[in-house]
Structure 1
């Protein structure tokens, strides 16, 4: 029945998904292929080309584990929603108690992933759900903190959101650098935006801008 459930999700057949779940289909059994996605993750990927959020709701109502990792321990459903930038899916998962502080085998964490691409609304949702507990953690391939990512992008709204949630501008990243050290070269940036970011991050208290 697992193959039928995945087929129904991929075909965006919400009624069939609900019927299979009512008939006893396992909402947590992963795919047999190497990727090993679970139904919730497949349903999130399906949203990109017409899938319905109702499928996620149905899976959760029938016992889908919102914190279950895929077979390779790369992603939980929440990490999948963040990486795919599916805000509605993230809202559903947060309401269902998904952990916003998970860390993948490669060190990817939801809040850092949002800061890296500038997903402000998703970052706000994660912080509301408790992501501030790990707000100063660094990791991933870059070794940056969430604030370091926002600084690198000169993303003032994200910088302000993170600071308001308790991010420490002097929290070191993997290279023992602070967030303001991650600002792009001032000469290659909009000077007003750069100066505003530098001031917000407290760099003016430690050194003069180059």
Structure 2
């Protein structure tokens, strides 16, 4: 089977023929010759927005797809792509299959930053349980914010607590030399409770 044929089956959501092609030896790690240069996992995640099934992702993984395989231009891994497309079912499938939570996308995105951006405490907890090391405090390329600073900027007390519990230092400056507390928005009557709680969590120990 040619490279184009497998991608055509994925685009057509023909899961039966995808399964047969993989069973017959189609390469689950092939890279598109043109276009965005995706691997089959990337293409299957893209198709989820157009009626595709998460089962295609599972089939590809069962047939040896590289869960951390980069696209041709090394822009994104399947996990980062699933986060950026907010395909949370597939995020969990990929993490269960061993996807690294320490990957760094071309624009500085990491799984933890993506999870914090979504504001989903369960997803943040899942990423933290997988013990990110090099990306726990790594800033994002776009705006220089790190995960703790991003949670603070959103006044997301639950995620601030979770990231601190995972070992993040509230005194660590981000790429713009701003500590997490300096990312907090102005205190208002409406946000006073959350603001006070997070300010206390980020207060340096005396």
Using structure 2 for the length normalisation, give the TM-score.
Answer: 0.91
What are the ranges of 5 or more consecutive residues in structure 2 without an aligned counterpart? Answer: none
RMSD over aligned Cα, in angstroms? 1.8
Q: Does 1:137 align with 2:138?
A: yes
Cα deviation, 1:3-37, whole Å, max 9, x if unaligned, reads 22112212222111101111221111111224111
2:65 counterpart residue number: 64
2:44 counterpart residue number: 43
Q: Within 5 A, what are the aligned runs for 1:174-189?
A: 174-187=175-188
Residues 132 and 174 of structure 1: is their aligned pair in 2 closer, same or farther, counting only changes over 3 Å? same
**Moved runs in structure 1, 4+ residues, more than 6 A?**
none
Residues 150 and 53 of structure 1: is their aligned pair in 2 closer, same or farther, counting only changes over 3 Å? same
CA distance in 2, matches of 1:189, 1:180: 18
Residues 172 and 189 of structure 1: is their aligned pair in 2 closer, same or farther, counting only changes over 3 Å? farther
The residue matched to 2:188 in structure 1 has which SS? helix
- State the aligned residue count: 205
What are the ranges of 5 or more consecutive residues in structure 1 without an aligned counterpart? Answer: none
Superposed displacement of residue 95, structure 1:
1.6
C-alpha contact 1:132 1:166 (8 A) present in aligned 2: no
CA distance in 2, matches of 1:128, 1:181: 27
Shifted more, 107-116 versus 45-54: the winner is: 45-54
Using structure 1 for the length normalisation, give the TM-score.
Answer: 0.90
C-alpha contact 1:147 1:179 (8 A) present in aligned 2: yes
Residues 189 and 173 of structure 1: is their aligned pair in 2 closer, same or farther, counting only changes over 3 Å? farther
CA distance in 2, matches of 1:140, 1:117: 17
CA distance in 1, matches of 2:51, 2:167: 37
2:151 counterpart residue number: 150
CA distance in 2, matches of 1:10, 1:201: 47
Q: Within 5 A, what are the aligned runs for 1:81-160?
A: 81-160=82-161
1:19 counterpart residue number: 20
CA distance in 1, matches of 2:122, 2:61: 23
